[in-house]
């Protein structure tokens, strides 16, 4: 009898799982497959309560779908995977390829340890429709701008989705203690593959039809909500792409999936951009290092005095999620109103986001900070008041997350300090003058350009 191992990571599903399909084929008739998940402290440690809780839920859902046969072990993956392979006599360990900086190096270490024992790490597929590094320009170099990347990505195409494997015998193997996540501060999405598809099916109805018109309005709840499921591979992006037609709204959603793939490709080629500016010309931008006024903490707490910024930060901590338009606004406020380094905000996001994906998160922040690919021009400085009035005109989103403003009328809900009745008790005054800080941000930008 042949035994193989499927090492689950960011692919917690059974349908359209090429690595699992190959593990089953390699085991052959009468063979067994070990379903393994390794709790890696390098990844588990930095994850906040929201992402940990959602991951544990997804693991529980996966375990239930395979009859309670998910094997959980703790420790350095190189040691854990080699130990399990020796325990069951498996010659091959199958994984979905990992293209992020840490994941790629980890897999090289695991492969090296397995080779010493005459075993093989078999990488199959990718968490992306098109594996990072597959799309290059005419000179054989990676793309630095989204639009030409997207065109080449579309031309490259992707494989069709696979069904779940048929006859499959999961091996019985003891687990170590399952990870226990602290209770999340708020309500998280229902975890698992079935929940992912329930969410996708809801979105592909009426919300998708209005996606291009409503997606920038945080009070409308018009986005897909699928990012946490894509993060952990409860579904695969090509499964979503296969369901899209040619309408404008579907084209916009396809483009959003393309941005996720683009940022993964950028990080694959430039792993240094996890912490460093993609554009070296912007690396010298002056930022405030000493925060004597506690500006960063007030931003984290949603106590800046700017309603839509505060609403976004409170939603992040409570739900492990923030609407994408609001992510841009709060990032712009931190970088260009408070003049703090983008990496501080990116790190806070990664601590709280259920969908925390290092490629999308870091490069989304760099887009706003003007240091990345396709960067927003540095002189594009979001005004939190006018942005709130444009995208949350009735204050629905703001009142949901900043209850202190519940009684403020629509006219003043995004600038309550102007209300003739006075700002509501308990809500802070604006911590900065946006107009003044905009001038200061542009001054620093001019100095950087003149270097």
What's the pLDDT at 451? 61
Closest CA to 4 of 134, 125, 121: 121
Return the pLDDT at 331: 98
Same domain, 253 and 121: no
Residue 206 has pLDDT above 90, yes or no: no
* CB neighbour class for 21 (10 Å; exposed up to 12, middle 13-18, buried from 19): buried
What CATH number does the domain containing 328 carry?
Answer: 1.10.579.10
Report the alpha-carbon distance of residue 122 to residue 118 in Å, rounded.
13
Does residue 188 fall inside a structural domain?
A: no
Q: What is the pLDDT of residues 172-197, one digit of tens each?
A: 999 999 998 876 656 789 999 999 99
Does residue 349 share a domain with residue 432?
yes
Give 378 or 92, the one with higher predicted confidence: 92
Instruction: Say if residue 376 is in the same domain as residue 430.
Output: yes
| pLDDT cut 90: percent of the chain above it | 89
Residue 32 lies in a domain: yes
Assess contact for 20 and 6: CB atoms under 8 A.
Answer: yes
Rounded to the nearest integer, the mean pLDDT of the chain is 94
Per-residue confidence (pLDDT) for residue 185, from 0 to 100: 57
Is residue 22 scored above 60 in pLDDT? Answer: yes
**Euclidean distance between CA atoms 346 and 48, whole angstroms:** 13
Among candidate residues 259, 255, 229, the one with its CA nearest the CA of residue 244: 255
Q: Are residues 120 and 134 in the same domain?
A: no
pLDDT at 200 over 90: yes
pLDDT of residue 167: 80
pLDDT at 360 over 90: yes
Question: Domain containing 19: what range?
Answer: 3-125
Segment 87-96 shows an average pLDDT of 98
Q: How far apart are CA 327 and CA 312, in angstroms?
A: 7
Determine the straight-line distance between the first and last CA of the chain, rounded to whole angstroms. 67
User: Given this model, what pLDDT does residue 184 score?
Assistant: 60
Instruction: Give the pLDDT score at 427.
Output: 96
User: How many domains is the chain partitioned into structurally?
Assistant: 3
Q: Say how far apart CA 146 and CA 255 lie, in whole Å.
A: 10
| Structure confidence by residue, pLDDT tens digits, 104-152 | 999 999 999 999 999 999 999 999 999 999 999 999 999 999 999 999 9
CATH code assigned at 220: 1.25.40.80
Residue 171 lies in a domain: no
pLDDT at 23 over 60: yes
Q: Which two tokens stand for residue 106?
A: 């980890």
Is the domain of 386 the same as that of 304?
yes
178 falls within a domain: no
Contact 47, 55 (CB under 8 A): yes
In a shared domain, residues 234 and 315: no
pLDDT exceeds cutoff 80 at 232:
yes
- Count CB atoms within 10 A of the CB of residue 447: 12
Domain boundary among 230, 250, 269: 269
The enclosing domain of 34 has a CATH number of 3.40.50.620
- Is the domain of 133 the same as that of 101? no
């Amino acid at each position: 009898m042949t035994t193989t191992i499927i090492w689950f990571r960011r692919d917690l599903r059974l349908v359209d799982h090429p690595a699992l399909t190959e593990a089953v084929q390699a085991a052959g008739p009468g063979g067994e497959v070990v379903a393994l998940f390794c709790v890696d402290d390098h990844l588990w440690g930095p994850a906040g309560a929201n992402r940990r809780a959602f991951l544990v839920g997804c693991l529980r859902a996966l375990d239930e779908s395979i009859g309670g046969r998910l094997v959980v072990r703790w420790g350095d993956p190189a040691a854990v995977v080699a130990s399990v392979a020796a325990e069951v006599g498996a010659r091959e360990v199958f994984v979905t390829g990992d293209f992020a900086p840490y994941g790629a190096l980890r897999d090289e270490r695991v492969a090296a340890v397995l080779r010493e024992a005459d075993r093989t790490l078999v990488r199959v597929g990718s968490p992306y429709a098109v594996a990072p590094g597959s799309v290059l320009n005419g000179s054989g170099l990676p793309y630095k701008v989204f639009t030409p990347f997207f065109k080449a990505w579309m031309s490259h195409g992707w494989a069709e989705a696979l069904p779940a494997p048929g006859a499959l015998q999961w091996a019985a193997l003891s687990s170590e203690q399952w990870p226990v996540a602290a209770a999340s501060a708020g309500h998280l999405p229902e975890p698992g593959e079935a929940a992912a598809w329930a969410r996708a099916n809801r979105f592909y109805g009426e919300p998708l039809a209005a996606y291009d018109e409503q997606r920038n309005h945080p009070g409308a709840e018009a986005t897909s909500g699928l990012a946490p499921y894509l993060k952990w591979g409860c579904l695969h992006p090509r499964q979503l792409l296969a369901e899209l037609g040619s309408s404008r709204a579907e084209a916009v959603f396809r483009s959003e999936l393309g941005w996720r793939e683009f940022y993964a490709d950028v990080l694959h080629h430039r792993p240094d951009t996890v912490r460093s500016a993609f554009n070296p010309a912007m690396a010298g931008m002056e930022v405030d290092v000493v925060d004597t006024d506690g500006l960063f903490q007030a931003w984290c707490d949603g106590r800046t005095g700017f309603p839509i910024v505060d609403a976004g930060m409170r939603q992040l901590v409570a739900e492990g999620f923030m609407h994408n338009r609001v992510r841009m606004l709060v990032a712009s406020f931190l970088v260009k109103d408070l003049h703090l380094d983008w990496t501080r905000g990116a790190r806070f996001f990664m601590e709280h986001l259920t969908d925390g994906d290092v490629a999308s998160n870091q490069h989304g922040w760099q887009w706003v900070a003007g240091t990345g690919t396709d960067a927003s021009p540095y002189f594009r400085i979001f005004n939190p008041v006018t942005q709130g009035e444009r995208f949350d005109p009735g204050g629905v989103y703001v009142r949901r997350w900043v209850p202190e403003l519940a009684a403020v009328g629509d006219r003043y809900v995004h600038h309550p300090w102007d209300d003739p009745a006075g700002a509501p008790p308990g809500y802070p005054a604006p911590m900065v003058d946006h107009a003044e800080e905009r001038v200061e941000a542009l001054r620093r930008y001019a100095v950087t350009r003149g270097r």
